[in-house]
Amino acid sequence: MAVVLALAAAFAYGLSDFVGGLASRRTSAWPVAFVGAVAAFAGAVLLALTTDGSPTRDDLLWGALAGVGSGTGGAFLYRGLAAGRMGVVAPISAVGAALLPVAVGVATGERPEFLVWFGILAAVPGIWLVSREPGGTGDVAAGILDGVLAGVGFGLLFAAMGQVPEEAGFTPLAVAQGVAVVGVALTAAVLGGRWVPYDASQAWGALAGLLATAAALAFLLATQSGLLTIASVVTSLYPAVTIALAALVLRERIHGSQGVGLLLCGVAVGLVAAA
């Protein structure tokens, strides 16, 4: 069940990125991101209000830390995109999002089976290859820094959400999404971006945000029914979903290295599921 839920999270995150990316192409990324964050917060609040849960202060703090990770990861990812360093930032951040929670899971006592470790060994290069956009421009050194910081942020999001127990309900998730709204606005302001929505097309960010809430919910449930190690690695395969959707819907070309990455991602899912 944990693998199924994590796959659902990966699909929802990948679809969210696809929708948000399309909207950003037609307008500006920051307003789309802000609308998405607000919609994600609204969806999480609705979940929290309509379900039972008794979160402790620690649970809420884990949620807030997850929100900080989400805001930080998104900020450096957007900075890399704006500077034309996406081909460097995206793969590093995606790998970081997978590896940091694995390290946390192992440090807190999780011991995955050998097949899971083989799956991780296949997933890491798969995530890298499928996220890598050949022919990227910009400062590579600065792109590495942005990628590492984005990966730490997304990894922190996954690792912190993985500490929320089932009895806490979904209030910690709402806290995380609320902190992320503030993070998007503050980061855009600091980087000189215009985050206040000004065009009707930016409303597509709401769909991306609701999909992100669904993804976060599926990931949270995956960590509560299985290992953080497994949930984080499978969920981090979301770039493969985005690339596949771009190929199917937009007829975008899949580069050779990305094809190899998709194959490795499939192998990783098979190994983890077999365990």
How do residues 112-129 score in pLDDT, each as one tens digit? 888 889 888 998 898 888
pLDDT of residue 181: 92
Q: Tokens standing for 133?
A: 């956009």
The amino acid at residue 117 is W
Most confident of 41-50, 66-75, 258-267: 41-50
pLDDT of residue 142: 64
Q: Is the pTM higher than 0.85?
A: yes
pLDDT of residue 134: 66
pLDDT of residue 83: 64
The average pLDDT across 184-210 equals: 86
Distances, alpha carbon 95 to alpha carbons 88, 172, 209, in Å = 12, 25, 22
- Residue the block writes with tokens 């069940």: 1
Phi first, then psi, for residue 135 (nearest 5°) are 80, 20
Q: In 10 A of CB 115, how many CB atoms?
A: 14
Q: Contact, 243 vs 130, CB < 8 A?
A: yes
How do residues 80-107 score in pLDDT, each as one tens digit? 766 656 566 777 888 888 889 999 988 9
The average pLDDT across 215-229 equals: 92
How do residues 157-196 score in pLDDT, each as one tens digit? 999 999 999 999 999 999 999 999 998 888 888 877 788 8
pLDDT of residue 87: 64
Cβ partners under 8 Å of residue 104, min gap 6: 159, 162, 228
Q: Tokens standing for 203?
A: 């409303």
pLDDT of residue 222: 94
pLDDT of residue 207: 94
DSSP-assigned states of every residue in 180-214: HHHHHHHHHHHTT---S--SGGGGHHHHHHHHHHH
pLDDT of residue 136: 55
Residue 202 is classified by DSSP as G
The average pLDDT across 186-210 equals: 86
Phi first, then psi, for residue 112 (nearest 5°) are -65, 155
DSSP-assigned states of every residue in 111-162: ---HHHHHHHHHHHHHHHHHH--TT--S-HHHHHHHHHHHHHHHHHHHHHHT
The average pLDDT across 223-252 equals: 88
Half-sphere exposure in the Cβ direction for 25 (13 Å, CA): 7
